[in-house]
């Protein structure tokens, strides 16, 4: 962990440069190792083809991100990393937002280790 999942409307695919956004997100999370172990960082972008925004009258777009983390980080760390990640998102999409209607949002999901199953040998590269 953490996992950063971005959903975005297909009407911004050409301009959104999601690969660059995910690279920027990884930089933020890697800078906070070992709070977020590097070998556990994952990100993905999911293009949405079926959606409706507001009243449907415009070609509105949205980007919604979810940061999923395991329990155990301090409230200060969670707040700081979420603030920083959302700032990255706002900066990344600032030009696009100046050209069109666009809604940005992000949420944090923190879960306990109970009910979570994982196996990962990538961590050994960073030990």
Tens digits of residue pLDDT in 26-74: 999 999 999 999 999 999 999 999 999 999 989 999 999 999 999 989 9
Residue 124: Cβ-neighbour burial (10 angstroms; 0-12, 13-18, 19+) = exposed
pLDDT of residue 2: 94
Average pLDDT over the chain, rounded to an integer:
95
pLDDT of residue 117: 83
Active-site residue flag, 37: no
Output the pTM of the full model.
0.92
- Annotated catalytic residue: which of 2, 12, 16, 104? 2
pLDDT of residue 112: 81
In this model, does residue 115 exceed pLDDT 80? no
* Of 59, 87, 55, 81, nearest in space to 68 by CA: 81
Span 73-78, mean pLDDT?
Answer: 96
In this model, does residue 78 exceed pLDDT 80? yes
């Amino acid at each position: 962990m953490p996992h950063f999942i971005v959903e975005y409307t297909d009407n911004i695919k050409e301009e959104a440069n999601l690969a660059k956004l995910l690279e920027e997100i990884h930089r933020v999370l890697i800078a906070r190792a070992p709070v977020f172990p590097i070998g556990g960082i994952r990100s993905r972008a999911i293009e949405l083809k079926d959606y409706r925004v507001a009243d449907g009258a415009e070609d509105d777009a949205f980007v919604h991100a979810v940061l999923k983390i395991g329990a155990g980080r301090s409230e200060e760390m969670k707040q700081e990393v979420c603030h920083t990640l959302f700032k990255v998102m706002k900066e990344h999409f600032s030009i696009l937002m100046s050209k069109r209607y666009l809604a940005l949002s992000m949420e944090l999901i923190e879960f306990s280790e109970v009910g979570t199953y994982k196996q990962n040998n990538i961590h050994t590269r960073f030990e």
